[in-house]
Structure formats: structure tokens, C-alpha cells
Amino acid sequence: MAERADAGPLYLAVDAGNSKTVALVVDGTGTVLGRGRGGRGDIYGASSIEVAETAVFGAVAAALDEAGATVADIRSAAFRLAGVDYPEDATFWDERIAARLPGMGGWSVKNDGFASLRLIDGTGVGLSITVGTGPAVAARSADGREQCSGWYVFDDLGGQGLGNSALKAACREWMGMGPATRLTPVLCEYYSVADAGELRHVFTRRFGALPGTELWKASRLVLELAGEGDAVAQRIVHDQATAFVGYAEWCARSVGADFAAGDLPVLLNGSVATSEHPAMRDAILVELARVAPGARVTVADDSPLHGVVLDALAEGGVAVTAELVARLRQEHPEDFLAT
């Protein structure tokens, strides 16, 4: 952890999703001075609003403590939070931030779908498709119009959706209602059960069931089997890719952009899209080439958290340069960002 060299202004970045909340305190060069982690910071996904608040403000407190900083040292803060889906959600967090972090400089609150946008070229203009535990799609036009997928997602997407779909596919085969798939024996071995019936039982029984978060871990198995040619796994991935691109097209259209013509650059990010198993990434790229042949598409080299840091710095008056982005890339150990 870098030592604080002077008493210059600091910047706070918070990225809250459905698996974890992470917070960073950085100086004006992007050097990380403090890190904090918390649980699920989505006010819709957490077990209660209070749990989400604890996740977010607990991570902030840990980052400030590690940095040896106070709230008053923060010139600018960017909060990119899953569950900021409607205007009243942003108002909720604005009120909580004002009450819990008095004396802090300016801050912004947006859906976590906007976290990656500044990674494209530093301007914050573009469209991001983030495939993590859940889905996050967001677009921002050059004139400042914004749209995110939020609650307007009607498909079970991301790592959570991959796990849920895999369990269904295995059970349907076991029941004689669906095609054979390698997902069945692989899942049964992974969760140490005899068959798909028992697999369903351990996740749904009233007493002693495994939490749904354990099923999310199956997402990498789905990606791996899809890459190896399992038709059922490939269909699960293909259906998600089609849905993601559909929501991206809607977000682009909502901000006045011609998606097909490439009015907005597109970035893919998130643990599933950037996985070592490329099935989801490849499927989305194929669908983007079909639907938006004019779009310039890149795959992120940095986590969404890096984008939130850039937002905090830019909103605090720091110029976003290629050198700054490169510095941030070296500042985050893998274990800190792991789910």
C-alpha cells in the first residue's frame, strides 16, 4: 500500500454489485492509498436496505481507515451501485451519503452499469455491456443523455443466470424432459451429489439448503463446456448473448444513438465476459457484429472498479490520460477484486 506523500486532495471510488462492494481511496495520480470490501450493496438484491448500506459504508470506512484519511480529505467521490435503477434510488443514496459522510466534497451516484464507460477512451461516452454476477448495460451519448438496463431486464443473465440455467438443464435431462448434456455429470461431481434430483434438493430444501450464491460458481463450468462443444451449454450462452445485445441496442436507442451504425463505441467487461473461458465473450462479439456492424468493440483490460476511479478523478478535475489509466491497471491485486 502506498504511503500518503502529502496533504493533497483524495478521491473515493465505490463499486457495489450483487456479489461484493469494493471501495478505494486514491490520490490525484491514481495511486491507491486505501482499500475496503463489503457484501452485497444492491438495495434490491441485499436481504435488506440496511444490509446494503452496511456493505457500502463499511467498505468506505475501511478504505478511509487504511488510507489514514478522513471524509473531509475527499474532494470527489463516485458511487456506482447496482440497484440505482430509478431516480428515487439515487435520491436515497444521496441522502444517506450526505448523512453518513458529512464534510465530503462532491459526489455522484449512478447505476453500476456506468462504471466501465470511462475505460473506453477517457471521455465517459459510449456503451458498456458488463457481464458479471448479474447484468449491467449502460449508454451515455456525447450530449450527456444516459440510459441503463436497470429493472428493464427480463432475462436471467450473468453468472447467476448461467448457474440457474445449468441446474434447470441438468434436472430436465434427469426427468427425461430435455436433451442430454455434460452439464449433468459435471455439476453433480462439482457439488458432490448423486444425480440432478439431489442437486435440485440441496439448493431448494427448506432446511439446510445451499445458498443461491453457491450456484453462481457453476457459471465457469457452463462457459467451459460451451467452449468444448456441449450443445446445451452453448445454447444457454447464446441466449444470454442475444439478450445482452438486445438490451444494449435499447440503451443506445434511448440516448439517440444509431447502434448499428456505430454511433457509440462498445466495451465488454465483467468477470463472465472477460473470463479465461471465452464462450460468452465470443458469443456477444458475434451477436454485436450481426446487430451493430458499424460499432467499434473492445474487451476491457481493466475491471469496472478502474472506471469508477477514473470517474471520481475526472469529476474532481483530474485529467484522464493514457498514463493515468496505465497506472491504475497496476494498482489492484487479483485477490482484492475476486468474488
In this structure, are residues 47 and 37 in contact, taking their beta carbons and an 8 Å threshold?
A: no
Q: What structural domains and CATH numbers belong to the chain?
A: 10-112+301-337 (3.30.420.40), 117-299 (3.30.420.40)
**pLDDT (0 to 100) of residue 104:** 94
**CA gap 123, 115 in Å, rounded:** 12
**Cα–Cα distances in Å, from 140 out to 126, 254, 291?**
5, 10, 19
Which pTM value belongs to this model? Answer: 0.90
**pLDDT (0 to 100) of residue 17:** 86
Q: Which amino acid is at 124?
A: G
**pLDDT (0 to 100) of residue 302:** 87
Q: Enumerate residue ranges in the chain where pLDDT < 70.
A: 1-7, 329-339
**pLDDT (0 to 100) of residue 6:** 58
In this structure, are residues 277 and 163 in contact, taking their beta carbons and an 8 Å threshold?
A: no
Give per-residue pLDDT as tens, 24-38.
999 999 999 999 999
